[in-house]
Amino acid sequence: MNSEQRKQLAAIGKSAFVREEMVRLGFWPPSPEVAELAAGAEKELRVYYDEMIALRTELNGVEAKIAEAGNIPALLAEVRRKRIERVRAERIARRERRAQEKIESHAKDTEWRKRALPYLGHGVSDALVYKGGDPEKTATLGLPALTTASDVAAAIGISESDLAWLTYHRGAATIDHYSRFTIPKKRGGVRVISSPKRRLRTAQSWVLESVLSPVPVHDAAMAFRPARSVADNARRHQGQAVVIRIDLKDFFPSITLPRVRTLFRSLGYNGGVATLLALLTTEAPRVAATLDGARRFVAVGGRSLPQGACTSPAVTNLLCRKLDARLTGAAEAMGFVYTRYADDLVFSHAKPDAPVGMLLDLTRRIIADEGLTVNEEKTSVQRGQHRQTVTGLVVNGGAPRLSRENLRRFRAMLHQCERDGLPAVSERLGQNAQAYAAGYVAFIHMVDPEKARQIVAAHPWIARWKRAGGA
């Protein structure tokens, strides 16, 4: 069998090849009848032969490729292994990409929080939203335009991180922004004074000068205003038949952070800026304690106006505008004169038969309606036949003046300082005796400048305190 025959055998199969060879050699068909039948069959089979040849060629190609491929299971295993490695690499790359995105997002969020200050401690951050406000009202009042935490920091002249440090509220803090001490009250007990430290004092001074001072207060407010003094307050009530004094109980502690924040919002600032300003001007009462071996300053109450901050008096004057207006209206309707010096409310009337009871009842209702409380122990009605005092000055029988008793006690204290020494008297007073003396001389000077000069001349060590940069 030659090569052509072998190719033909491979192409059409053994049975077809035998039949074709029989035809070629003349062994087929055996008779004319069979030949006729065979011709018909041959014609029909030729179609299938051609298809079979094409299929056989294709099959041979496939078998050749399979032969070239070698071990199919091993090849499939290799494909599977490469696919697993690819998926694993993609998963690792995806995880690394997500981790990097998380780091970048955290860094971006941290940087945003440093600038925006969206959270400044538990219980004080709910209104830290730097949207809204009334810029037109702020502009009308002549106040600085503040919209963001960055605006507030820049206006004060500090960084956003310093602003956060000054305003962040902690229940137990490692640092106290106030120096706290007590001074004795006239009627017993002590008053806690919270004096802001340098960095907070600088920020509060800006708030006072730029935000609080430009806003007008009611004319009845006499305390902590330029060109007004205790003597001016007393003069409005001199020579009256009746003087009524009402004291507000726990005045500064009763002015809480929400009320202060509401005040700043009423000036046109949005909730975020108003909260920052309120946090700068309020603080919680704190006590020093040791927790986990470390010194902490623990808050023992909510944030309110600290007595000793330069902003507290101005905040109270603004918050009391409505109170002053209502009490002025009630007083004038009954013929009384009304003034308020911080928490000391004074009413006076020219006639002995003034409707005192009616005024007291109405005043108590108005004060309660404004969220404040009367200190009933200090409420007094002073009539002309007895000594009448207003903010420490006698107002009946002439111009406002110091009482002889107060001057006598002060001169006795000065004598004790010179006899026993300033440290001994300071210990008895519970405060710096030289500072107290300088402060009281300044009080005397507002009323009687000549008498103040005489006292300083007789006790020159008082002036040395003032020259040294003391009180």
pLDDT of residue 189: 77
Are 316 and 251 spatial neighbours (Cβ–Cβ below 8 Å)? yes
Q: Give 177-225 pLDDT, tens digit per residue.
A: 999 988 777 777 788 899 999 999 999 999 999 999 999 999 999 998 8
Which residues, 6 or more positions from 438, have their beta carbon under 8 angstroms from its beta carbon? 462, 463, 465, 466, 470, 471
Would you say 443 and 233 are in contact if contact means Cβ atoms under 8 Å apart?
no
List, for residues 143-168, the tens digit of each pLDDT value: 999 999 999 999 999 999 999 999 99
| Gap between the terminal Cα atoms of the chain | 132
Q: What length does the chain have?
A: 471
More confident residue, 71 or 57: 57
The pLDDT > 70 percentage for the chain reads 96
* Of residues 195, 192, 197, 177, the one with CA closest to residue 279: 177
466 vs 132, higher pLDDT: 132
> Would residue 372 be called left, alpha or beta, if left means φ above 0 and alpha means ψ between -120 and 50 degrees?
beta
Helix axes 198-207, 271-281, angle to 10 degrees: 130
**Percent of the chain with pLDDT strictly greater than 90:** 66
Burial state string for 178-206 with b = 16 or more CB within 10 A and e = fewer than 16 = bebeeeeeeeeeeeebbebeeebbebbeb
Q: How confident is the model at residue 69 (pLDDT cuts 50, 70, 90)?
A: low
pLDDT tens digits for range 294-317: 899 999 999 999 999 999 999 999
Residue 4: which H helix or E strand, with range?
helix 3-12
Separation CA 462–CA 438 (nearest Å)? 6
Distance CA 77, CA 470 (A): 90
pLDDT band per the 50, 70, 90 thresholds, residue 471? very low
Q: At what angle do helices 257-266 and 312-319 cross, to 10 degrees?
A: 70
Answer yes or no: is pLDDT of 176 > 80: yes
Query: Helix H segments across 223-320?
Result: 230-235, 257-266, 271-281, 312-319
| Average pLDDT value for residue range 131-137 | 95
**Which residue stretches of 70-192 are H helix?**
72-116, 135-140, 149-156, 160-167
- C-alpha 273/C-alpha 207 separation (Å) is 12
| Average pLDDT value for the chain | 89
> Residues 89-108: what's their mean pLDDT?
89
DSSP assignments along 72-88, one per residue: HHHHHHHHHHHHHHHHH
Predicted pLDDT of residue 262: 97
What is the C-alpha to C-alpha distance for residues 244 and 251, in angstroms, rounded to an integer? 18
Mean pLDDT of 101-111: 81
Predicted pLDDT at 468: 46
Give residues with Cβ within 8 angstroms of 307, minimum separation 6: 191, 192, 193, 194, 252
Whether 227 and 211 have beta carbons less than 8 Å apart is answered as: no
Q: Are strands 337-341 and 178-184 parallel, antiparallel or unpaired?
A: unpaired
- Within 10 angstroms of residue 327's Cβ, the number of other Cβ atoms is 26
**Which residues 6+ apart lie within 8 Å of 406 measured at CB?**
392
Both tokens of residue 454? 């005489």
Q: pLDDT by residue (tens digit) across 324-383? A: 999 999 999 999 999 999 999 999 999 999 999 999 999 999 999 999 999 999 999 999
Residue 470 has pLDDT above 90, yes or no: no
In this predicted structure, what is the pLDDT of residue 350?
A: 96
Are 255 and 319 in contact by the 8 Å Cβ rule? The answer is yes
What integer pLDDT is reported at residue 31 of this predicted model?
Answer: 67
Q: Which residues contact 416 (CB under 8 A, 6 or more apart)?
A: 424, 425
DSSP state of 209: I
- Over range 246-251, report the average pLDDT: 95
What residues have CB less than 8 Å from 465, skipping those under 6 apart? 434, 435, 437, 438, 471
Q: Is the pLDDT of residue 28 over 70?
A: no
CA atoms of 19 and 378, how far apart (whole Å) = 138
Q: What is the pLDDT of residue 29?
A: 65
